[in-house]
Structure 1
């Protein structure tokens, strides 16, 4: 791996349930004690946030769980959006733009805030790390593929076939990155199930998703950048969510930043009907998720098993912040995408459209007051602009697996993948 090594770890990992403290090894995902499921969280030396000179993600290295940083990694760009705010009835709307928008200084290489988590997770890894296994609906895979290519970190990405639409990069991927594609009717949940089994192979390790403190704190830099640009924490933070990892990360970052007596930003999480399992859980409807995960416009929000009840997860963050979850449909999200491009002059991703549409609806309903200071996380944007500015190289799958149909279950295909990988040369060595 490349990068600058600051020295020993400047943080401790702490269990949200029992308070057990750990010296991090860069791979730890769970508390070893027997109790309710609970997130680990990072506690950093010193108080407050000491920023480095310059810009980009690792400006906030003092509150990131990393032992190495990487040069030239962009961060989020935060700006006031007065015209957009007026169009939806807000006086003090700020936007955290995560994507490709050169005029604003936004240069995230794969056009979403998943770049922030990918580089932080890689910066947390120990030397000679095992092969990371990462399931994705598309954006996370793209972020890890490019970050791992740039810094020669072996990883195995498991994605459903539609995710390959997002696998276009400023250059070819390195041989250390292997993409396994599940064809046919496979969904994000199927990719997760397959990746869970693949991570049990010798020399492989689950990246961990929301359980990885690197992911949450990397995504939390959106809140750090916003507080720095605005000069204070926002009253309300708005984000589209699948697992809710980014919103939890923003909530945890706000908790580190707030001064005595200062309220935490209220979380407004947004989901895309007809697939809204977090909304159903929050409303305690008991309603099952939609059977077809590909019906929503924003496929990246289709996490069938989000971390809702886990200690330190979505429910706790909503309760602590006095937050809420709102839903919007595809038609409203498409209208919001068109509005953003009309007013701001840049394309945005479907998830960002969901967030904007839900925020506008919350303002109309009186849930968000017109004079609140609101931070809207545009979690991805500028993909069309990037394709215009750069020559992008499509990635090729390392392995394609025909999906046999939901009746046979994800475990069947996962076992097929395991056999193929085990019978070939060790993938961990092949990827290096």
Structure 2
């Protein structure tokens, strides 16, 4: 792997998140021996793109993004060349992500990157990422600590109970940023390792497979890429994937897709930073900001600390792609959700509705012309369909922590959930 800031290269140990040299924060990138885009014909899932994933092993039966040309939604919004990347559960489209969001792409890649002997993986989540890591960690038998606010429990209805090595901690009266704070504190102790979010090359390269699936389906790159974002790990990931495709010579003369990232109108730190014209991100606010987070339509997008100013982060990929950041209010998002259900006949998640609303507005305002090649990433969908087709189990918290508990006592209670061991061996056999 290499550092885009200083050029330092090092072998990947499966856990590293930062460059060891003493400079400002930068997002490490994986380097691959395979120079050409070579999907594996024998694998229909995520690991079809194994040659461009930082993994040491794979697991059979993992789904991937399904990309198709839209007709119904395209007609309604007035776009002739609209493509949809669907990430969720939709049997008729062969979409099989069992937790119904593209977080599964990152979870399986992160775990397949880790060494077989590893610390407890610590994951903070608003809900969707926790569900993905719950399923993937149970499959791989990787010890994992999931920290979520109480509102995230609704997304943890799964097709099978959790493996005993996966522990779920729920924070009452908290938001996503509180979960991040507690996870960081626990991961400072021996025997635990922070998953790392956007800093983890496994997470980003797993999410980047959305662009690989699009390249296969479209046989070209999109001119515009629409996605709703919280941390914008997905936006950064598809940008890096598009660069890798162009560097491989797969699409000579094609420009980088323009990133059109979307946020809730009520809470949009990336939009605010981008519109300011400065690289620095405004500091998070106080009670007003917390109220905005609690009332946001898509609470999975409410990351207060996105990697905006870091080298190769949000500011840089928006600048390089000539992109933009849009916002959608709740009525617009709800209308877009209904529109997708009517035209494509599938339910979508709130974040996907925010992205769809931004696309509708951009097409209506002429920001995107009717002949442009557009890729809309519906980052989650099919949850209602999954509930009709399968019996689901509500994941029960291993521990609940109330707002009155001190940080020190909360950390102590969480640490007590796992035996005192530096590393754990992953139990399940996997496909090499």
Range of TM-score over shorter length: over 0.9
Find the residue that maps to 2:380 and give its secondary structure.
strand
Deviation at 1:46, TM superposition (A): 2.7
- Counterpart in the other structure of 2:350: 350
Name whichever of 43-52 and 380-389 sits farther off: 43-52
Map 1:328-367 → 2, pairs under 5 A: 328-367=328-367
Q: Residue 52 of structure 1: which of 35, 40, 54 is its match?
A: 40
Correspondence for 1:189: 177
Provide the alpha-carbon RMSD of the alignment. Answer: 1.6
Q: Partner residue of 1:218? A: 206
Cα distance in 2 between the residues matched to 1:363 and 1:427: 56
Match of 1:99 among 85, 88, 111: 88
Cα distance per residue 1:2-21 (max 9 Å; x no partner): xxxxxxxxxxx100100100
Task: Give unmatched runs, 5+ long, in structure 2.
Answer: 426-432
* 1:244 and 2:244 are equivalent in the alignment: no
Distance in 2 of aligned mates of 1:425 and 1:386: 32
Question: What's the secondary structure of 2:74's corresponding residue?
Answer: helix
- Superposed CA deviations along residues 255-304 of structure 1, whole A, max 9, x for unmatched, are 01123432000000000110000000101185856332121110100000
Cα deviation digits, residues 360-383 of structure 1 (max 9, x gap) = 111122211111000000000000
Q: Which residue of 1 aligns with 2:430?
A: none
Structure number with the bigger relative contact order (C-alpha 8 A, sep ≥ 6) is: 2
**Deviations, residues 218-268 of structure 1 (Å, cap 9, x unaligned):** 000000000000001111111000000001100000001123432000000
- Give the secondary structure class of the aligned counterpart of 2:30: strand
Shift in alpha-carbon separation, 1:398–1:264, aligned structure 2, 3 A: same
User: What is the DSSP-based 3-state SS (H/G/I as helix, E as strand, rest coil) of the residue aligned with 1:40?
Assistant: coil
Match of 1:229 in 2: 217
Instruction: Choose the corresponding residue for 1:201, options 160, 170, 189.
Output: 189
1:72-111 maps to which residues of 2 (within 5 A)?
A: 72-111=61-100
Of 360-369 and 28-37, the range deviating more from structure 2: 360-369
Helix, strand or coil at the partner of 2:88:
strand
CA contact under 8 A between 2:182 and 2:407: conserved in structure 1?
yes
Deviation of 1:35 after TM superposition, in Å, equals 1.1
Q: CA separation of 1:413/1:264 partners in 2, compared to 1, >3 Å: closer, same or farther? A: farther
Structure 2 Cα separation of the partners of residues 40 and 187 of structure 1: 28
Cα deviation digits, residues 394-428 of structure 1 (max 9, x gap): 11101000113xxxxxxx64322222244566266
Structure 1: gaps (5+ residues): 1-12, 405-411
Kept in 1, the 8 Å contact 2:225–2:377? The answer is: yes
Pair 328,135 (structure 1): closer, same or farther in 2 beyond 3 Å: same
CA separation of 1:52 and 1:422: change in aligned 2, threshold 3 A: closer
Say whether the 8 Å CA contact 1:176–1:430 is kept in structure 2.
no
> Structure 2 vs 1, CA of residues 327 and 124 (structure 1 numbering), >3 Å: closer, same or farther?
same
Deviation of 1:172 after TM superposition, in Å, equals 0.7
Q: CA deviation at 1:202?
A: 1.2
Q: 2:8 aligns with which of 14, 17, 20?
A: 20
Most deviating of 258-267 and 420-429:
420-429
Asked if the contact 2:204/2:237 (under 8 Å) is kept, the reply is yes
1:36 equivalenced with 2:24 (yes/no): yes
Quick check: 1:204–1:428 contact (8 Å CA) kept in 2?
no
Match of residue 52 from structure 2: 63
State the TM-score, normalizing by the size of structure 1.
0.93
Q: Answer yes or no: is the 8 Å Cα contact 1:176–1:431 preserved in 2.
A: no
3-state SS of 1:21 partner: coil
1:429/1:287 Cα in 2 relative to 1: closer, same or farther (>3 Å)? closer
**In 1, Cα distance between the equivalents of 2:309 and 2:148?**
26
Q: Which residue is 1:254 aligned to?
A: 242
What is the CA–CA distance in structure 2 between the aligned matches of 1:414 and 1:131, rounded to whole Å?
20
Q: Look up the match of 1:416.
A: 409
Q: Any idea what SS the aligned residue of 1:43 has?
A: coil
Q: Aligned partners of 1:191, 1:202: CA distance in 2, in Å?
A: 19
Partner of 2:390: 390
Contact 1:160 1:183 in 2 (8 A): yes
Determine the C-alpha separation between the residues in 1 that align with 2:284 and 2:133: 31
Shift of 1:36: 1.6
Whether the 8 Å CA contact 2:167–2:417 is kept in 1: the answer is no
- For the residues of structure 2 that align with 1:334 and 1:81, how far apart are their CA atoms? 20
Partner of 1:8: none
Matching residue of 1:270: 262
Tell me whether 1:152 sits opposite 2:141 in the alignment: yes
In the TM superposition, what whole-angstrom CA distance separates every residue of 1:101-153 from its partner, at most 9, and x where no partner exists?
A: 00000010100000000000000001111100000000000000011111101
What whole-Å deviation, never above 9, does each CA across 1:321-367 have from its counterpart, x for those lacking one? 00000001011000000010011111000000000000111112221
Aligned residues: 412
